[in-house]
Amino acid sequence: MADLYNVSKIKQTLALSATTVAFTVCFAVWMIFAIIGVQIKKDMGLSETQFSLLIGTPVLTGSLIRLTLGIWADKYGGRPVLVITMLSSALFTWLLAYATTYPMMLIAALGVGIAGGSFVVGITYIAKWYPKENAGTALGIFGMGNIGAAVTKFGAPFVMVAFGWTMVAKVWAVALVVMAIAFWFMTSDEPELIERRAKGEKAKTTAMALEPLKKLQVWRFSLYYFFVFGAFVGMALWLPRYYVAVYDLDIKQAGMLAAMFSIAASAFRAIGGYLSDKLGARKVMYLTFIVSIICLFILSYPATDFIVHGIKGDINFHIGLDFWWFTIIVFVLGLFMSFGKAAVYKHIPVYYPDNVGSVAGIVGLIGGLGGFVLPLMFGMLNELTNVWTSCFMLLFVLVSVALIWMHITVVLMEREKHPEMRKGRDLPELDHAHTNLSYNQ
């Protein structure tokens, strides 16, 4: 097995770098509605729920298609599957510029979302180039392609203001085509695929690839990713709108500030992969969830004015975050989300080395669904509660559930591995009290 990784370092480096850049372009396209959606909402007079559905539709496609693409990448190789993914998405992104009604835009958005499936293809492809002890760092570097969200938030507002939102769609479509061509000529098929072809071995059947999905562990990893990635996508889509509405900023300012979150949640993913390799993915997940709970607790508190009737008169208080403090806390949240994303995918090649595509596909699918479901829920919660910070309240509950499930699982695993770890060992005074009680009786 080790011989698979004794490949040319140049080919290995090209595979990682080209796939990372390709994923960056794909992610920039996948997040296109975070910017142009604000203008479309204004032009078409969309409600909050309609707007949430529009920006979430590409995320839905990119999520649902991940399992299929992961299995195909295992079977046929990540290289051709990624090229087809990019070209398909480019076609629909170009057609988006010619959509004139809301239903037409939804249909085009479904096709744009194919770009989101590039993630699981890239994960499957890169995992085949590196041994599992180094996979965390390599996959963390690849995951930095999430910074494509920041590329869209920085670049799209200026293109949109100068030439209109349709030009953004056309430019992003052309970028995908150019990247697909460059990727094909820069990269090679993965070593495992070449060896399999040389031996005349058949790829695993779909049923064999789906076998690991029967394990609860896979779905636990999926819940983690629902938060660290799904919430990241949801916030990346929602934040420009949040800045415009809550802090009365224009779209260019909102886009740049929202990009700070996307950068934090993407650029540091390689560090998360490195930490997962060195410290262990479990420790990184604990750190991610704990810091996220603290940040979301602060973000959840709505801006509040209240009056205290003091001895010498009324005292007015205001509790709330200005946009700079808000941006700083959101940046910290994004930073630890990036660590968590890398940690989740560090687990997969370790536990499921022969089924990376299918497991990565279902984990990515559930995580991506978070990016679709959460913006919809953000919009509905706004209409239901009339409180802008309700989106962070929802995320606070989500990460709390993930942390509790993970901790319970870890404790049960430790007790199964070490039966001598009885409850009384954690509270020795109870054992002492029980002994005295028995003696007195």
The predicted-structure confidence for 48-104, as pLDDT tens digits, reads as follows 778 878 887 888 888 888 888 888 888 888 889 999 999 999 999 999 988 888 899
Q: Confidence band (pLDDT; 50, 70, 90) for 409? A: confident
- Token pair 């901790």: residue: 407
Q: Cα(101)–Cα(91) distance, rounded to whole angstroms? A: 18
pLDDT of the residue at 422: 53
Residue 208, SS3 per DSSP = helix
* Phi, psi (degrees; rounded to nearest 5) at 402: -60, -45
pLDDT of the residue at 141: 85
Percent of the chain with pLDDT over 70: 87
**Interval 425-441 mean pLDDT:** 47
pLDDT of the residue at 207: 64
The chain-wide mean pLDDT, for the chain, equals: 82
Q: Confidence band (pLDDT; 50, 70, 90) for 342? A: confident
Q: Cα(239)–Cα(234) distance, rounded to whole angstroms? A: 8
How far is C-alpha 118 from the geometric centre of its chain's CA atoms?
A: 13
**Interval 413-431 mean pLDDT:** 57
Question: Which helix (H) or strand (E) element contains residue 305?
Answer: strand 304-310
Mean pLDDT check: name the lowest of 255-259, 281-285, 401-405.
255-259
Model confidence at 275: pLDDT above 90: no
Q: Cα(74)–Cα(92) distance, rounded to whole angstroms? A: 26
Identify which of 34, 25, 7 has the alpha carbon closest to the alpha carbon of residue 244: 34
Give the Å distances, CA to CA, from 206 to 119, 203, 280: 20, 9, 31
Model confidence at 18: pLDDT above 60: yes
* Phi, psi (degrees; rounded to nearest 5) at 352: -135, 60
Residue 378, SS3 per DSSP = helix
Q: Cα(127)–Cα(313) distance, rounded to whole angstroms? A: 67
Please, which residues have CB within 8 angstroms of residue 49's CB and are 6 or more apart in sequence? 376, 379, 380, 383
pLDDT of the residue at 56: 79
* Phi, psi (degrees; rounded to nearest 5) at 381: -65, -35
Model confidence at 172: pLDDT above 90: yes
Q: Cα(73)–Cα(92) distance, rounded to whole angstroms? A: 22
Q: Whole-structure pTM over 0.85, yes or no?
A: no
Q: Cα(253)–Cα(259) distance, rounded to whole angstroms? A: 10
pLDDT of the residue at 94: 94
412 vs 297, which has greater pLDDT?
Answer: 297
Pairing of strands 313-319, 304-310: antiparallel
Q: Cα(289)–Cα(302) distance, rounded to whole angstroms? A: 22
Q: 249 is written with which tokens?
A: 């900023």
Model confidence at 35: pLDDT above 70: yes
**Interval 187-199 mean pLDDT:** 76
- pLDDT tens digit string along 111-127? 999 998 898 898 888 88
We find that the CATH architecture of domain 8-189+208-306+317-419 is Up-down Bundle (1.20)
Model confidence at 256: pLDDT above 70: yes
DSSP assignment string, 97-111: TT--SHHHHHHHHHH
**Interval 139-158 mean pLDDT:** 82
Q: Residue 330's CB: how many other CB atoms inside 10 A?
A: 24
Q: Confidence band (pLDDT; 50, 70, 90) for 440? A: very low
243 vs 430, which has greater pLDDT?
Answer: 243
**Interval 187-205 mean pLDDT:** 73
Q: 224 is written with which tokens?
A: 């983690």
What are the boundaries of each domain within the chain?
A: 8-189+208-306+317-419
**Cα dihedral value 68, 74, 78, 79, nearest 10:** -120
137 vs 393, which has greater pLDDT?
Answer: 393
pLDDT of the residue at 2: 46
pLDDT of the residue at 294: 95
Model confidence at 165: pLDDT above 60: yes
- Token pair 């007079």: residue: 45
**Interval 355-366 mean pLDDT:** 76
Q: Cα(73)–Cα(68) distance, rounded to whole angstroms? A: 9
Model confidence at 289: pLDDT above 70: yes
Question: Which helix (H) or strand (E) element contains residue 337?
Answer: helix 323-351
Q: Confidence band (pLDDT; 50, 70, 90) for 430? A: very low
267 vs 326, which has greater pLDDT?
Answer: 326
Q: 147 is written with which tokens?
A: 């910074």
Model confidence at 441: pLDDT above 60: no
Residue 304, SS3 per DSSP = strand
Cβ(382)–Cβ(48) below 8 Å: yes
Model confidence at 295: pLDDT above 90: yes
Model confidence at 230: pLDDT above 80: yes
